[in-house]
């Protein structure tokens, strides 16, 4: 039913692209042709093709090192070749541990042996492929064999331990049990080890993705009692192969010894289901867990320590495995040395229908249609490179090693990188560098939402208004015609492009209306996906239409369609957040001192269950943000200058510029995002070169813009934060100068026509 209705909507509601004003960066003539090619492209994208490809690629488990991982890479290679791409496989040899021995048992007060296994579900045909499934584990866990009392630490974040301190509970010498939650899984063993714990366990609580959300699998789509979230716990110093930081894991590369690899955890860690966690949590005594720490299980959550005493053993095979990146090129006709790169990983933890194949099959459907357009006479101006990455799940291995290997040519040639990964039903979500905000938004205006009579832009825009926190934010959103791109950290394969090579990047997906979640489980497979997620594959079509049109738009524009005004505004906002953070901490510190003095904590404390007050904190000093604010003024001025040059181009009727002057302006534009790099990297994570866009050391996937300053602020290291401000200001000034150059060359190119 839904399918027929959505097709009907498509027939009458797709806006006529040809009648619109020229696309940004396009001459009027090129724009009209482009609209026609993009319309043909979008019409060709087929949900049936997407379904068939997803079924094929998810038919067997395909993690790094498995036979089907290699078979999939070769199958994808064959498809790219058949569609007219110049395609090859690039291999890298990387450290990829797999479990040799896993034991988790409770020795007291009762004896219990954890199953450490996800049960087969009769209706789900691939859930029984036991011999090919990776066991449940966290990759890059240290080996260890420990017996200790158990402590419940909520999600295991640093804030959780501050509350444990006040409860008088120490994890020194203990094994901690945390629930998966907002904080990233690698934070659990990292902070636990910093606090002196000897082992760690992470379980999936039904409140997060189980029966508290909806019916559990197979009746519904939510994680069942035996479902386990695998995942990497590689530390945050650098992504990619732990043995070859900063360089490609090629045959001749210099490799660290295993003992020298900084990104392997310090203590063992195992992920478990809530059916394995329930007996352990039920056996804890000690303080009742604070209200916000309680999950969805039918028990009173206690913190411990003990009396539950647990034996945890984890040992891995520390093998080097070969990974297979498929790289497919469609050479540009007029600007072959300018590259537009599109990627999605193909490896999974198990069958991986949603993660990553929902994104991978959209990517392949784009490539199939671009190949067909190419055969019908469409020749992209720039070179288009499609990448199917291997080894993303363990630590972005395929994309990081490839970018490290080719970093100098990538920095020289790459216009932008477009990433996707998982894909579900619902709203378009786009994150990235905001120089791409305008072009991505323009593309989203021209893609039809599959289930409502509006564009994917309109739907995401209205959803953002509905979710806005206050009237000011709503008013601001209502004035916008674009989609705000939030900064990216390191959650997927854009990381090395953006954070290491300074390449403008965007990450696209649909989601938010899911009837389930089986993240990194054996149940993330074709049966589950086609019953509970994008059941008619129309959001796969929407992703292919959005990402593929963005590739085409970037590949064919006369002038690379960057606009820096949204980026200057975003970076100014990140600077505001730094100042606000200091101000909030000053106010908090003053308020806490007052409350300690007037006895607030004593008054609200239950004398029978006393919770000691938090410690007094030293008052943060004022910091000098002036150098950064001055640099941001310069960035704003040059961004305005470039926007003005674009407006002037449009006001002149978007004339065709000679190839040579286009090449000059485009070279300026391609260079700008590289200017945000500092070759020395972040002060304590030198792999991360980008001074604006980076993840946090403790936040995992999430972004921490201006991390060089922000990380020190979060740790109350004021002098070090202050010392970083001038060097961030310098990269902003460099970028401002680069944009100014582009604006001048663009204006001169236009003036030369008259």
Residues that bind Zn ion (CB under 5 A): 355-356, 421
Smallest gap from Cβ 222 to Zn ion, in A, equals 19
Which residues in 259-269 are b (16+ Cβ under 10 Å) and which e? eebebbbbbbb
Smallest gap from Cβ 534 to Zn ion, in A, equals 16
Smallest gap from Cβ 322 to Zn ion, in A, equals 20
Which one, 398 or 426, has the nearer CB to Zn ion? 398
- As to burial, measured by CB atoms within 10 angstroms (0-12 exposed, 13-18 middle, 19+ buried), residue 291 is exposed
Which one, 354 or 435, has the nearer CB to Zn ion? 354
CA angle at residue 695 from 692 to 699, to 5 degrees?
Answer: 140
Which one, 141 or 509, has the nearer CB to Zn ion? 509
Smallest gap from Cβ 364 to Zn ion, in A, equals 15
Rounded to whole angstroms, how far apart are CA atoms 571 and 574?
Answer: 5
Which one, 355 or 534, has the nearer CB to Zn ion? 355
Smallest gap from Cβ 224 to Zn ion, in A, equals 21
Tokens of 375: 């055969």
Which one, 23 or 386, has the nearer CB to Zn ion? 386
Which one, 118 or 421, has the nearer CB to Zn ion? 421
Which one, 226 or 356, has the nearer CB to Zn ion? 356
Which one, 90 or 493, has the nearer CB to Zn ion? 493
Q: How far is CA 190 from CA 237, 265, 376, 694, 695, in A?
A: 12, 7, 54, 19, 16
> Angle between the 437-445 and 538-556 helix axes, to the nearest 10 degrees?
130
Smallest gap from Cβ 344 to Zn ion, in A, equals 8
Which one, 701 or 718, has the nearer CB to Zn ion? 701
DSSP state of 692: S
Smallest gap from Cβ 422 to Zn ion, in A, equals 6
Is it true that the peptide bond before 456 is cis, omega within 30 degrees of 0? no
Which one, 357 or 443, has the nearer CB to Zn ion? 357
Smallest gap from Cβ 533 to Zn ion, in A, equals 14
Q: Is the dihedral of CA 48, 50, 53, 57 positive or negative?
A: negative
Rounded to whole angstroms, how far apart are CA atoms 693 and 466?
Answer: 27
Rounded to whole angstroms, how far apart are CA atoms 550 and 441?
Answer: 10
Rounded to whole angstroms, how far apart are CA atoms 566 and 222?
Answer: 38
CB-based contact 711:681 (threshold 8 Å)? no
Which one, 349 or 564, has the nearer CB to Zn ion? 349
Which one, 457 or 519, has the nearer CB to Zn ion? 519
Rounded to whole angstroms, how far apart are CA atoms 594 and 608?
Answer: 24
Which residues in 496-512 are b (16+ Cβ under 10 Å) and which e? bbbbbbbbbbbbbbbbe
Do β-strands 144-152 and 175-179 pair in parallel, antiparallel, or remain unpaired? Answer: parallel
Smallest gap from Cβ 395 to Zn ion, in A, equals 12
Rounded to whole angstroms, how far apart are CA atoms 654 and 559?
Answer: 11
Which one, 210 or 356, has the nearer CB to Zn ion? 356
Smallest gap from Cβ 498 to Zn ion, in A, equals 16
| DSSP-derived 3-state class of residue 368 | helix
Q: How far is CA 706 from CA 485, 502, 635, 714, in A?
A: 16, 14, 15, 12
Smallest gap from Cβ 425 to Zn ion, in A, equals 17
Rounded to whole angstroms, how far apart are CA atoms 150 and 11?
Answer: 60
Which one, 421 or 668, has the nearer CB to Zn ion? 421
Which one, 355 or 490, has the nearer CB to Zn ion? 355
Rounded to whole angstroms, how far apart are CA atoms 125 and 191?
Answer: 39
Smallest gap from Cβ 79 to Zn ion, in A, equals 20
Smallest gap from Cβ 356 to Zn ion, in A, equals 4
Smallest gap from Cβ 169 to Zn ion, in A, equals 35
Smallest gap from Cβ 563 to Zn ion, in A, equals 30
| DSSP-derived 3-state class of residue 97 | strand
Smallest gap from Cβ 359 to Zn ion, in A, equals 7
Smallest gap from Cβ 525 to Zn ion, in A, equals 15
Smallest gap from Cβ 375 to Zn ion, in A, equals 31
Rounded to whole angstroms, how far apart are CA atoms 645 and 351?
Answer: 50
DSSP string computed for 151-200:
EE-TT--HHHHHHHHHHT---TTPEEEEE-SSS-TTHHHHHHHHTT-SEE
Which one, 356 or 705, has the nearer CB to Zn ion? 356
Rounded to whole angstroms, how far apart are CA atoms 18 and 12?
Answer: 15
Residue 600 has φ and ψ, to the nearest 5°, of -55, -45
Residue 218 has φ and ψ, to the nearest 5°, of -95, 0
Which one, 421 or 745, has the nearer CB to Zn ion? 421
| DSSP-derived 3-state class of residue 387 | strand
Q: Give the DSSP H or E segment for 145.
A: strand 144-152
The closest alpha carbon to 363, from 315, 335, 326, belongs to 326
DSSP string computed for 444-511:
HHTSB-SSSSSBHHHHHHHHHHHH-SSHHHHHHHHT-SS-PPBPP-SSSTTHIIIIIT---EEEEEEE
Residue for token pair 């607030």: 600
Which one, 241 or 421, has the nearer CB to Zn ion? 421
């Amino acid at each position: 039913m839904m399918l027929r209705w959505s097709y009907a909507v498509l027939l009458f509601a797709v806006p006529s692209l040809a009648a619109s004003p020229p696309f940004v960066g396009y001459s009027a003539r090129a724009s009209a042709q482009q609209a026609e090619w993009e319309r043909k492209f979008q019409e060709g994208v087929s949900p049936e093709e997407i379904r068939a490809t997803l079924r094929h690629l998810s038919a067997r488990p395909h993690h790094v090192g498995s036979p089907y991982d290699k078979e999939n890479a070769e199958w994808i290679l064959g498809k790219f070749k058949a569609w007219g791409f110049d395609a090859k496989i690039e291999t890298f040899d990387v450290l990829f541990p797999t479990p040799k021995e896993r034991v988790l048992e409770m020795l007291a007060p009762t004896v219990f042996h954890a199953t450490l296994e996800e049960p087969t579900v009769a209706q789900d045909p691939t859930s029984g492929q036991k011999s090919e499934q990776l066991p449940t584990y966290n990759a890059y866990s240290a080996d260890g064999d420990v017996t200790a009392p158990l402590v419940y630490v909520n999600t295991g974040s640093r804030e959780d331990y501050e509350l444990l301190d006040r409860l008088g509970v120490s994890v020194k010498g203990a094994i901690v049990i945390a629930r998966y939650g907002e904080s990233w899984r690698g934070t659990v063993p990292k902070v636990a080890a910093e606090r002196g714990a000897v082992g760690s366990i992470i379980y999936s609580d039904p409140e997060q993705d189980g029966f508290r959300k909806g019916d559990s699998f197979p009746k519904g789509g939510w994680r069942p009692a035996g479902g386990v979230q695998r995942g990497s716990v590689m530390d945050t110093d650098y992504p990619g192969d732990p043995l070859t930081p900063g360089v490609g894991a090629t045959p001749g590369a210099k490799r660290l010894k295993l003992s020298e690899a900084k990104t392997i955890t310090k203590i063992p860690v195992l992920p478990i289901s809530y059916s394995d966690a329930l007996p352990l949590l039920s056996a804890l005594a000690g303080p009742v867990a604070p209200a916000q720490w309680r999950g969805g299980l039918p028990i009173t959550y206690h913190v411990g320590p003990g009396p539950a005493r647990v034996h945890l053993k984890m040992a891995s095979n520390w093998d080097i495995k070969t990974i297979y990146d498929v790289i497919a090129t469609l050479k540009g006709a007029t600007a072959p040395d300018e590259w537009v790169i599109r990627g999605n990983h193909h490896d999974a933890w198990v069958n991986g229908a949603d993660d990553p194949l929902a994104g991978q099959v959209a990517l392949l459907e784009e490539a199939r249609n671009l190949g067909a357009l190419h055969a019908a006479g469409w020749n992209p101006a720039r070179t288009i490179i499609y990448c199917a990455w291997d080894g993303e799940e363990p630590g972005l291995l395929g994309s990081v090693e490839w970018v490290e290997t080719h970093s100098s040519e990538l920095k020289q040639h790459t216009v932008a990188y477009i990433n996707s990964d998982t894909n579900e039903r619902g709203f378009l979500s786009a994150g990235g560098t905001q120089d791409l905000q305008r072009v991505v938004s323009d593309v989203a205006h021209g893609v039809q939402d599959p289930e409502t009579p509006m564009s994917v832009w309109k739907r995401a825009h209205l959803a953002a208004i509905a979710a806005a926190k206050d009237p000011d934010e709503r008013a601001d959103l209502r004035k916008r015609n674009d989609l705000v791109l939030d900064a990216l950290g390191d959650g997927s394969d854009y990381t090395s492009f953006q954070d290491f090579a300074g390449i403008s990047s965007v990450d696209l997906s649909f989601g938010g209306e899911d009837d389930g979640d089986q993240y990194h489980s054996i149940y993330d497979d074709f049966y589950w996906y086609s019953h509970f997620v994008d059941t008619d594959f129309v959001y796969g079509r929407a992703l292919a239409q959005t990402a593929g049109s963005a590739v085409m738009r970037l590949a064919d524009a006369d002038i690379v369609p960057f606009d820096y005004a949204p980026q200057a505004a975003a970076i100014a906002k990140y600077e505001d957040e730094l100042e606000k953070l200091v101000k909030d901490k000053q106010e908090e510190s003053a308020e806490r001192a007052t409350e300690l003095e007037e006895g607030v904590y004593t008054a609200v404390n239950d004398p029978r269950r006393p919770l000691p007050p938090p410690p007094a904190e030293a008052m943060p000093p004022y910091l000098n943000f002036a150098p950064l604010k001055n640099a941001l003024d310069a960035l704003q001025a040059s961004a305005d200058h470039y926007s003005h040059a674009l407006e002037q181009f449009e006001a002149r009727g978007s004339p065709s510029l000679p190839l040579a002057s286009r090449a000059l302006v485009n070279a300026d534009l391609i260079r700008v995002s590289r200017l945000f790099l500092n070759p020395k990297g972040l002060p304590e994570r030198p792999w991360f070169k980008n001074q604006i866009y980076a993840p946090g050391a403790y936040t995992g996937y999430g972004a921490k813009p201006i991390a060089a300053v922000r990380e020190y602020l979060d740790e109350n290291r004021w002098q070090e934060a202050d010392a970083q401000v001038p060097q961030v200001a310098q990269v902003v000034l460099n970028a401002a100068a680069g944009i100014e150059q582009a604006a001048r060359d663009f204006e001169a190119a236009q003036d030369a026509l008259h």
